[in-house]
Amino acid sequence: MRAWRSEEGISEDEAKEREIRSLEDPPVHRGEYWRADMAVVQQPTQVVTVTTTNRDIGQWSTGVCDCCADMETCCCGYWCFPCMQCQTASMNGWCCCMPMLDFCCVVSCLLRSSIRERHNIPGSFCDDCCKLLWCYTCVWCQMHRELKIRQNRTMSSTVVTSQVMSG
């Protein structure tokens, strides 16, 4: 207050008014002040896609020995089993190279367990491991079929949001 008065030669009342105005309207950039009558600014619209799946208690869509239910998966499993394994892991959101690290069925058991948990299919890790030990190829074909079927069932909805800011 005193700096304004001494520099510009203004009265004490005028200096007090300037002090009060400076407290009410804080400076923003290079001496500019906030104003109560500023325009409303609308931000760009964002589009968000939400994918949902049915969270009911489920079951496997096909059995372990239902290889003929999907001949494409059956043939792929028979003629190029490692390719089908990589595709199945990728469909589940895993790195496609994970099946190549499948020593003692550990990765297979973890993948099957992950599929069961994601799609709310009852079962146990022990059951998964036993099935894989007894019928490795058929279980992989079942997992591949399941992921194909579930991908076709997913529903997606689009949510559009906009944000309005006033300044």
C-alpha–C-alpha distance, residues 145 and 70, integer Å: 7
Q: Are 64 and 77 in contact (CB under 8 A)?
A: no
Backbone torsions φ then ψ of 162, nearest 5 degrees = -135, 150
Report pLDDT for 21: 73
pTM over 0.75: no
Residue ranges in the chain modelled with pLDDT below 50: 1-2, 4-5
Report pLDDT for 42: 65
Report pLDDT for 49: 63
Would you call 119 helix, strand, or coil by DSSP?
A: coil
DSSP-derived letter for residue 27 is B
Would you call 162 helix, strand, or coil by DSSP?
A: coil
What does R_g of the chain's alpha carbons equal in angstroms?
32
Report pLDDT for 4: 46
Report pLDDT for 35: 55
What's the start-to-end Cα distance of the chain, in Å? 28
Report pLDDT for 138: 94
Strands of 56-167, DSSP E: 155-161, 164-166
What angle do the packed helices 136-153 and 106-118 form, to 10 degrees? 30
